[in-house]
C-alpha cells in the first residue's frame, strides 16, 4: 500500500537579517510560547504580500527600522503540531533615519547586537544558525529543517537538519 501524502497546512513567514555599518545585527527580544529569546524581526506573510514585503513590514513594526530586503540568505521548513511553516530570511539594509522601538507587547527589547557577543542559549534556535551564517559573510544559502521540543523553559524550536547550497 503506497504511503499517503501529508496535507499539512502551509504558512509562510519572512524575517530580515539587517546589519549596520558596525557589523551588528538588528534583533528583538521576543516571547514565543512562554520562552523569551533574541531573534531577528519578522512574521507571517499577509494575503497579497510578497515575502520580501512582509519581512520589511514586520521589521518596521517590530523595531521601528525601515529596511530594504535583498537576497534570501536562509530558509527553513518548520514542522510542528500538524502544520508546516516555511520561513524565509532576507538580508536587508536599514534606511535611515530610524529610532528603535516597538508597540508589540511580546517584544521586551530592540537592539543592534554584535553577533560575537550573542549567546546561543539566549537566542532562538531558529535564529542562531542564521545569524551566525550571515555574520560569517557566507554567500551560500542556508537551508534548515526544524520541529519543536520541550525544554525546562518551555516549547522551543529544534533544528533537525541543515545544509549550505550555492545558488
What percentage of the chain carries pLDDT values higher than 70? Answer: 92
3-state secondary structure of 79: strand
**Confidence band of 4 (pLDDT split at 50, 70, 90):** very low
**152: pLDDT strictly greater than 80:** no
**109: pLDDT strictly greater than 80:** yes
Q: Could you give all domains of the chain from N- to C-terminal order, each with its CATH number?
A: 10-165 (3.90.79.10)
Choose among 48, 46, 39: nearest CA to 12. 46
Cell of residue 100, nine digits: 528603535
Asked whether the beta carbons of 114 and 131 are under 8 A apart, the reply is no
- How high does pLDDT run on average in the chain? 87
Residues 6 or more apart in contact with residue 26 via CB below 8 angstroms: 16, 18, 19, 20, 40, 41, 59, 63, 65, 67, 94, 110, 111, 112, 113
Lowest pLDDT segment from 4-13, 64-73, 147-156? 4-13
**3: pLDDT strictly greater than 50:** no
What is the layout of strands, in order, in the sheet containing 141-150?
A: 42-44, 10-18, 83-94, 67-80, 141-150, 155-165
**37: pLDDT strictly greater than 60:** yes
Note the pLDDT of residue 113.
96
Q: What is the mean pLDDT of residues 15-35?
A: 91
Choose among 116, 118, 110, 66: nearest CA to 92. 66
Q: What is the mean pLDDT of residues 3-32?
A: 81
Total residue count of the chain as it appears in this document: 167
**80: pLDDT strictly greater than 70:** yes
What sign does the CA torsion over 164, 31, 95, 46 have?
Answer: positive
N-term to C-term CA, the chain: 38
Amino acid at each position: 500500500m503506497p504511503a499517503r501524502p501529508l496535507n499539512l497546512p502551509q504558512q509562510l513567514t519572512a524575517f530580515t537579517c539587517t546589519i549596520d555599518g558596525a557589523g551588528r545585527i538588528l534583533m528583538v527580544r521576543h516571547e514565543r510560547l512562554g520562552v523569551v529569546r533574541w531573534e531577528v524581526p519578522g512574521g507571517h506573510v499577509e494575503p497579497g504580500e510578497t515575502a520580501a514585503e512582509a519581512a520589511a513590514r514586520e521589521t518596521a513594526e517590530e523595531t521601528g527600522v525601515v529596511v530594504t530586503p535583498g537576497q534570501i540568505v536562509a530558509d527553513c521548513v518548520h514542522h510542528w503540531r500538524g502544520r508546516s511553516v516555511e520561513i524565509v530570511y532576507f538580508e536587508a539594509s536599514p534606511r535611515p533615519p530610524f529610532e528603535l522601538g516597538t508597540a508589540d507587547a511580546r517584544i521586551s527589547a530592540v537592539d543592534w547586537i554584535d553577533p560575537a557577543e550573542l549567546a546561543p542559549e539566549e537566542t532562538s534556535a531558529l535564529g542562531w544558525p542564521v545569524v551566525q551564517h550571515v555574520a560569517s559573510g557566507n554567500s551560500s544559502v542556508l537551508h534548515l529543517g526544524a520541529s519543536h521540543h520541550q525544554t525546562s523553559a518551555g516549547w522551543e524550536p529544534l533544528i533537525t537538519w541543515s545544509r549550505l547550497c550555492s545558488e
